[in-house]
C-alpha cells in the first residue's frame, strides 16, 4: 500500500470539495437555524440528566448523541460488555474531536485525554467537562509522566477498573492514513481491543482541518444534517513475550490500517505540530501588508 506524507494526513480546508462550495454556502442559513435548535435541545437534555441520580445519568447520553446529529453504527464483539474479565485498553484511530463522545456510549469506559500543553484548548476542556458533569462520564487528563504513573496506579488498584480508551496517534487525522502509534499504554500489561473509526459528514465538510479553531470544530456538526460514524472492533490482542511495547503498538497500528485499507505511517504528532506551525507562518507572510515574492 502506498505511503502518504503529513500533507496527506491533514485537511487544510473546511470545505473538502471546492467544486461543491456553493452547496455548503447555500446550506449555511438552514444550518444556523438547526444549530440554535440543537443547542437548546442539548442543554435541555443535559439539564434533565443532572436531575437524575449520578448512576442513571448515562441513560440519556444516547439521546444526546442522536440530537447532536451523530449516526452510530457499531460492529464487532466485546464492545457492549458490563465488565471485562481482564484489564483492558480500547485503542482507536483518532478521526475527530467527537470520538470521545461516541465512545462514551460504551459501558464501563474511561476516556484518556493526553494534553501535554495542559489544556491548550479551553473550549475542548469546557465542553468535555460539561459532558462529564451532566452525564457522569469518566475523563482522565494526562499532562505528563507523573499523571500517567498516578493514573495507572489508581486504575490498577480499582476493584473494577474501567476500560481505558486511548488514541495512540495522539492527534487527529483525516482518515486517509494512520499517524504513528505511541507506545505508552501498550506496555501496561493490559489486553488491547482495537476499534476502527470512520466518520463522514452529510455535506463535503472536513471535520477537523489542521488550522481550525476547536470551537468551530464543535459547531459544524451541530449545523450539519448528520455525521455518520462507523466503529468496528477487531479481535482482542495482547503483547507477546518477545515483543517490546513499541513493537506491540506498531503491530496493532498495522492491523487497524489493513482493516481500514489505509497506510500505517511513521508520521508523528510532533511532525503534525511542525507542519501546523509552518502553515500558520506561511499564512502570516501572505497576509502581511507590503510583502511580496
- Is 217 within the bounds of a domain? yes
- Is 210 within the bounds of a domain? yes
- Is 288 within the bounds of a domain? no
Q: Which domain holds residue 72?
A: 6-274
pLDDT in tens, 14-64: 888 888 889 999 999 999 999 999 999 999 999 999 999 998 999 999 999
- Is 281 within the bounds of a domain? no
- Is 284 within the bounds of a domain? no
Quick one: pLDDT at residue 286? 61
Quick one: pLDDT at residue 118? 46
Secondary structure of the chain in HEC code, one letter for each residue? CCCCCHHHHCCCCCECCHHHHHHHHHHHHHHHHHHHHHHHHHHHHHHHHHCCCHHHHHHHHHHHHHHHCEEEEEECCCCCCCCCCCCEEEEECCCCCCHHHHHCCCCCEEEEEECCCCCCCHHHHHHHHHHHHHHCCCEEEECCHHHHHHHHHHHHHCCCCCEEEECCCCCCCCCCCECCCCCHHHHCCCEEEEEEEEEEECCCECCCCCCCCHHHHHHHHHHCCCEEEEEEECCCECCCCCCCHHHHHHHHHHHHHHHHCCCECCCCHHHHHHHHHHHHHHHHHHHCCCCCC
The count of structural domains within the chain is 1
Quick one: pLDDT at residue 149? 85
Quick one: pLDDT at residue 143? 66
Quick one: pLDDT at residue 12? 87
Quick one: pLDDT at residue 2? 62
- Is 265 within the bounds of a domain? yes
Counting as low any pLDDT under 50, the low residues of the chain are 116-120, 291-293
- Is 229 within the bounds of a domain? yes
Quick one: pLDDT at residue 114? 66
Q: What is the value of pTM for the model shown?
A: 0.89
Quick one: pLDDT at residue 115? 55
- Is 262 within the bounds of a domain? yes
Amino acid at each position: 500500500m502506498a505511503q502518504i506524507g503529513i500533507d496527506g494526513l491533514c485537511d487544510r480546508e473546511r470545505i473538502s470539495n471546492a467544486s461543491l462550495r456553493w452547496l455548503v454556502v447555500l446550506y449555511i442559513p438552514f444550518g444556523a437555524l438547526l444549530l440554535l435548535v440543537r443547542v437548546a435541545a442539548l442543554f435541555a437534555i443535559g439539564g434533565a440528566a443532572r436531575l437524575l441520580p449520578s448512576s442513571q445519568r448515562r441513560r440519556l447520553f444516547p439521546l444526546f448523541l442522536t440530537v447532536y446529529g451523530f449516526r452510530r453504527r457499531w460492529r464487532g464483539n466485546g464492545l457492549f460488555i458490563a465488565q471485562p474479565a481482564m484489564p483492558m485498553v480500547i485503542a482507536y484511530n483518532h478521526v475527530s474531536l467527537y470520538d470521545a463522545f461516541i465512545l462514551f456510549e460504551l459501558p464501563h469506559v474511561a476516556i484518556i485525554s493526553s494534553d501535554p500543553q495542559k489544556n491548550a484548548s479551553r473550549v475542548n476542556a469546557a465542553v468535555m467537562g460539561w459532558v462529564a458533569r451532566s452525564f457522569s462520564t469518566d475523563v482522565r487528563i494526562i499532562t505528563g509522566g507523573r499523571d500517567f504513573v498516578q493514573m495507572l496506579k489508581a486504575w490498577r488498584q480499582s476493584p473494577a477498573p474501567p476500560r481505558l480508551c486511548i488514541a495512540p496517534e495522539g492527534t487527529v487525522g483525516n482518515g486517509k492514513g494512520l499517524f504513528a502509534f505511541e507506545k505508552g499504554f501498550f506496555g501496561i500489561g493490559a489486553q488491547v481491543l482495537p476499534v476502527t473509526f470512520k466518520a463522514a459528514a452529510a455535506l463535503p465538510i472536513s471535520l477537523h482541518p489542521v488550522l481550525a479553531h476547536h470551537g468551530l470544530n464543535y459547531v459544524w456538526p451541530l449545523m450539519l444534517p448528520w455525521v455518520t460514524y462507523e466503529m468496528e472492533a477487531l479481535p482482542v490482542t495482547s503483547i507477546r513475550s518477545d515483543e517490546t511495547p513499541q513493537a506491540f503498538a506498531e503491530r496493532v497500528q498495522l492491523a487497524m490500517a489493513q482493516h481500514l485499507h489505509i497506510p500505517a505511517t511513521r508520521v508523528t504528532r510532533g511532525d503534525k505540530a511542525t507542519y501546523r506551525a509552518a502553515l500558520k507562518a506561511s499564512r502570516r507572510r501572505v497576509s502581511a501588508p507590503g510583502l511580496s515574492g
